[in-house]
Amino acid sequence: MNTEKNLINTLNVDRLGELTKQMAALKKEADAIKDNLKDFCMTNDVKKVQGALVTATYVEANRKVVDYKTLCADIGVDSDILGKYTTHNAVFSIKLS
């Protein structure tokens, strides 16, 4: 019985390894396609690309990130100091629907 459980677990681990490898390859391919779509949409001022089964929507957003750890280390926190640690990042993404 214990040998049977070990065999099942061994097979499950191997299958998980196979799936993880496949998912990594698929993610790499999907990321490359997303990058191409983002470039196409930015260059051609396109917001949606219609496929036969799925629509890709190009989304632009700006993110602000505050380095609170560094900010808190400074102690005397006022709005001028807060602005010093705030960064702005443009974010472009593809959403499928």
pTM > 0.75: no
> Where exactly are the structural domains of the chain?
2-96
3-state secondary structure the chain: CHHHHHHHHHHHHHHHHHHHHHHHHHHHHHHHHHHHHHHHHHHHCCCEEECCCCEEEEEEEEEEEECHHHHHHCCCCCHHHHHHCEEEEEEEEEEEC
What pLDDT does 43 receive?
96
Per residue in 55-83, pLDDT (tens digit) is 999 999 998 888 877 877 787 777 777 77
Residue 96: pLDDT over 70: no
